[in-house]
C-alpha cells in the first residue's frame, strides 16, 4: 500500500537515547528543522552510561546544557575512581583508578571536566533542551520502513499507542537506533571486529544497609572478585539505590530465566560479604559488551551514529561518548549542506573522520577491560603493548582525512599522549580569553558552534587576513566569523596573562587559523600570505566541497 507523504522535514532522526537526543539538540542549536522518533515511551529509566568525558562535556557546554547536566549529576559529584576488591567487607583492595580525571591535568587542556551523570538523569536534560530548540521529538513512535532516492528519504513511522501510520519525507535520515540497528540491517551494512566480548545482567536494587558497608569509599564503580559472586557495583545515589552487573554466560547455556530474584539477592550478598544484607531487586536487563565497527557509516542519504555504527566495551565509558561526538561531527555538516553553503561531498567526510576514530577507540576500550580484569571479560591472546593515555583518547583524537586541509594523514587517529597544538584535524587548543576590560571567562572553544571561525592576530598582516576573509566569505556566501586575538587594546579578545594564542596554535602572530563549527582545526597558515584572499577562497572552496577536492 502506498502511503501519502504527510510530513516534510530536512532531517529524520531514528532513536531517542543519548546519541539521538544529542543529535536533536545539536541540529536545533544550528536551526535545522527535524523530527526524532523513538519506539520507547520515554527516556531511559535505567541508570547506565554514566561516564561523560571531557570532550563530551565540552560540546555540551557549547550547546548550553553543561550546567544542567552537572545539576542533574550532583548526587554523584563526589564519586571518583574504580576500586577492585574481593568483597566489600575485605580490608584489602586496589584502586585501579583513584581519580578518573585529575582536575589539574584536564584544566590545562579544557574548560570542561569529566562528569558522572547516569543516562536516566542525563537524557531528560537533553530532551528538555532539544525541545526548547525546536526538536519535534516523538516517543512511542517506531520506524516501520524507509526507502531513499536521489533527492531524499521516504519513511513510514507508526504511533505504537494508536497504530496510526504516517509517512515522513526527509532530505536525510540519521540512524541512532542502537547496536541491533534495524536501519543498518536494512541497508545491508556489515561490521568488523572481534565481536562479543562478554555478557552481563544489569540489576537495579535497593539496600539501606549497603552504605554502612561501603563506608567512605566514593567510587564510580567497584569490581568485586569473589569467585562465584563477582560483578560490578555502581552507586546511584550513594544511599539506597544501586546497580549490580552480574556476569552471564549464555554460551554455557545460561538463560535470563536463570537469574531469579533469589539468585541475584544471594549473589549480591556474597559479593558484599554480608550474608544478611537487605537487598530488594527492582529491575534487571541484559546487556552485551562487544567490539564492532560498521563497515560503512553511510548509504546514500542515510547515516549511522552511536551504537548503530560501533560497539565498545563499557570500561572507560568510551561508547556513548564516541556516539555523542559522532552526532556533533555530523550535525554541522548536515546544517552546512542544507543551508546551501557546502556541497554534498562534505557529508562524505563524516565516515572518513569518525570511522577510524571508532576503530582505534573501541580497541582501546577492550584493552582497558583487559587491564582492569573487568568482571565477565575473558580476553583472548594478544592485546598487549603500550596504550594511549585516557585523556589522549577522550580529547586528542584527530582526523587525518576529511574536511581538513594540511592534516597528517599518516598520523594515528588516537595518539599515545595528548597533544593539542593547532594541527589541522585536531581539536583546537583551549585558552582562556577576556574581552577588553573584562576577566578571562571565555574559552576559545566557546567561539565554535554555528559558523566557521578565523583566528588572527593584530597588526598589518592580520588586517590583511581579516579583509580577505570578509571578501572570500561574501563571494562564496559562506558565514565566517573573524576574531583578532592579542594582548593589545586593538584586539577583540585577549588571552589570559602569559598566554600566546599564536604559539598555542602552531603559528605566528602574522598567521591565521581556521576552525570548524565542531571545534576542530580545518586549516592554518604559519604567517602572512602574498594573496590572502585567493588563499582563503581556495581553502573555503576545498573545505566545503564547493567544486574542489578538500584534500587536493
| Across 491-514, average pLDDT | 93
> The domain 7-76+111-190+293-395 is classified under which CATH number: 3.40.50.620, 3.50.50.60, 1.40.20.10, 3.40.50.300?
3.50.50.60
| Across 202-230, average pLDDT | 94
Three-class DSSP category at 453: strand
| pLDDT for the residue 388 | 59
Q: Is the pLDDT of residue 471 over 90?
A: yes
Pairwise CA distance, residues 84 & 315, whole Å: 13
Confidence of residue 45 (pLDDT cuts 50, 70, 90): confident
pTM for the predicted model, two decimal places: 0.93
Q: Establish how many alpha carbons lie within 13 A of residue 139's alpha carbon, considering only the half-sphere containing its beta carbon.
A: 11
Which runs of E-coded beta strand occur in 295-399?
A: 298-299, 302-304, 310-311
Q: Which range is least confidently modeled, 124-128, 434-438, 487-491, 523-527?
A: 434-438
Q: What percent of the chain has pLDDT over 70?
A: 93
Q: 432-543: same fold as 193-290?
A: no
Taking a C-beta distance cutoff of 8 angstroms, is the pair 501, 484 a contact?
no
| Across 176-182, average pLDDT | 95
> The domain 193-290 is classified under which CATH number: 2.60.40.420, 3.30.9.10, 3.40.50.300, 3.40.50.2000?
3.30.9.10
Cα–Cα nearest to 303, from 13, 8, 4: 13
Q: Establish how many alpha carbons lie within 13 A of residue 310's alpha carbon, considering only the half-sphere containing its beta carbon.
A: 31
Q: Establish how many alpha carbons lie within 13 A of residue 421's alpha carbon, considering only the half-sphere containing its beta carbon.
A: 11
Pairwise CA distance, residues 377 & 41, whole Å: 33
| pLDDT for the residue 100 | 66
| pLDDT for the residue 497 | 84
| Across 177-206, average pLDDT | 93
Confidence of residue 490 (pLDDT cuts 50, 70, 90): confident
| pLDDT for the residue 374 | 65
| Across 166-190, average pLDDT | 97
Domain edges within the chain = 7-76+111-190+293-395, 193-290, 432-543
The 10s digit of each residue's pLDDT in 105-141 is 778 899 999 899 989 899 999 999 999 999 999 999 9
Taking a C-beta distance cutoff of 8 angstroms, is the pair 298, 16 a contact?
no
| Across 198-208, average pLDDT | 93
| Secondary structure letter of residue 489 according to DSSP | T
| pLDDT for the residue 1 | 45
Pairwise CA distance, residues 500 & 509, whole Å: 9
Q: Is the pLDDT of residue 395 over 90?
A: yes
Q: 65 Cβ partners below 8 Å, 6+ apart?
A: 25, 125, 126, 129
| Across 36-63, average pLDDT | 91
| pLDDT for the residue 437 | 64
| pLDDT for the residue 421 | 95
Helix, strand, coil shares of the chain, percent, nearest 5, are: 30, 25, 40
Strands 153-159, 141-148: pairing kind: antiparallel
What region does 278 belong to: left with phi over 0, alpha with psi -120 to 50, or beta? beta
Mean model confidence pLDDT for the chain: 91
432-543: CATH topology: Glutaredoxin (3.40.30)
Q: What percent of the chain has pLDDT over 90?
A: 74
Amino acid at each position: 500500500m502506498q502511503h501519502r507523504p504527510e510530513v516534510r522535514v530536512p532531517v529524520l532522526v531514528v532513536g531517542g537515547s543519548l546519541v539521538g537526543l544529542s543529535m536533536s539538540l545539536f541540529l536545533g542549536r544550528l536551526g535545522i528543522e527535524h523530527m526524532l522518533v523513538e519506539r520507547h515511551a520515554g527516556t531511559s529509566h535505567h541508570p547506565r552510561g554514566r561516564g561523560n568525558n571531557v570532550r563530551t562535556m565540552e560540546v555540551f557546554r557549547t550547546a548550553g546544557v553543561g550546567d544542567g547536566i552537572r545539576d542533574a549529576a550532583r548526587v554523584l559529584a563526589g564519586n571518583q575512581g574504580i576500586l577492585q576488591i574481593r568483597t566489600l567487607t575485605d580490608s584489602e583492595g586496589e584502586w585501579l583508578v583513584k581519580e578518573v580525571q585529575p582536575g589539574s591535568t584536564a584544566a590545562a587542556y579544557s574548560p570542561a571536566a569529566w562528569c558522572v551523570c547516569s543516562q536516566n538523569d542525563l537524557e531528560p536534560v537533553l530532551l528538555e533542551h532539544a525541545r526548547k530548540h525546536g526538536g519535534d521529538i516523538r516517543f512511542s513512535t517506531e520506524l516501520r520502513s524507509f526507502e531513499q532516492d536521489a533527492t531524499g528519504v521516504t519513511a513510514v513511522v507508526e504511533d505504537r499507542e494508536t497504530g496510526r501510520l504516517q509517512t515522513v519525507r526527509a532530505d536525510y535520515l540519521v540512524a541512532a537506533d542502537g547496536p541491533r540497528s534495524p536501519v543498518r540491517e536494512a541497508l545491508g551494512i556489515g561490521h568488523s571486529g572481534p565481536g562479543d566480548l562478554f555478557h552481563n545482567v544489569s540489576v537495579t536494587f535497593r539496600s539501606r544497609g549497603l552504605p554502612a558497608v561501603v563506608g567512605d569509599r566514593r567510587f564510580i564503580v567497584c569490581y568485586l572478585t569473589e569467585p562465584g559472586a563477582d560483578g560490578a557495583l555502581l552507586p546511584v545515589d550513594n544511599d539506597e539505590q544501586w546497580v549490580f552487573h552480574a556476569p552471564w554466560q549464555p554460551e554455557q547455556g545460561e538463560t535470563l530465566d536463570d537469574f531469579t530474584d533469589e539468585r541475584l539477592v544471594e549473589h549480591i550478598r556474597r559479593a558484599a560479604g554480608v550474608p544478611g544484607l537487605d537487598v530488594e531487586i527492582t529491575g534487571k536487563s541484559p546487556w552485551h559488551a562487544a567490539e564492532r565497527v560498521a563497515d560503512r557509516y553511510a548509504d546514500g542519504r542515510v547515516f549511522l551514529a552511536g551504537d548503530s555504527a560501533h560497539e565498545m566495551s563499557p570500561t572507560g565509558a568510551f561508547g556513548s561518548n564516541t556516539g555523542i561526538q559522532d552526532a556533533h561531527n555530523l550535525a554541522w555538516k548536515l546544517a552546512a549542506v542544507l543551508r546551501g553553503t557546502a556541497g554534498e561531498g562534505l557529508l562524505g567526510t563524516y565516515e572518513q573522520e569518525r570511522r577510524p576514530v571508532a576503530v582505534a577507540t573501541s580497541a582501546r576500550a577492550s584493552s582497558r577491560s583487559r587491564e582492569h580484569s573487568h568482571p565477565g571479560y575473558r580476553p583472548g591472546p594478544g592485546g598487549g603493548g603500550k596504550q594511549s593515555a585516557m585523556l589522549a583518547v577522550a580529547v586528542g583524537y584527530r582526523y587525518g582525512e576529511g574536511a581538513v586541509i594540511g592534516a597528517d594523514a599518516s598520523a594515528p587517529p588516537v595518539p599515545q599522549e595528548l597533544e593539542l597544538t593547532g594541527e589541522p584535524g585536531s581539536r583546537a587548543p583551549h585558552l582562556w580569553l577576556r574581552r577588553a576590560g573584562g576577566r578571562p571567562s571565555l574559552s576559545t572553544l566557546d567561539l565554535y558552534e554555528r559558523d566557521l571561525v578565523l583566528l588572527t592576530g593584530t597588526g598589518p598582516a592580520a588586517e590583511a587576513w581579516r579583509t580577505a576573509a570578509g571578501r572570500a566569505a561574501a563571494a562564496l556566501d559562506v558565514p565566517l566569523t573573524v576574531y583578532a586575538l592579542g594582548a593589545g587594546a586593538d584586539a577583540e579578545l585577549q588571552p589570559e596573562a602569559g598566554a600566546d594564542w599564536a604559539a598555542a596554535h602552531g603559528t605566528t602572530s602574522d598567521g591565521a587559523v581556521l576552525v570548524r563549527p565542531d571545534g576542530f582545526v580545518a586549516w592554518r597558515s604559519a604567517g602572512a600570505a602574498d594573496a590572502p584572499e585567493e588563499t582563503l577562497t581556495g581553502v573555503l572552496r576545498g573545505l566545503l566541497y564547493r567544486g574542489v577536492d578538500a584534500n587536493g
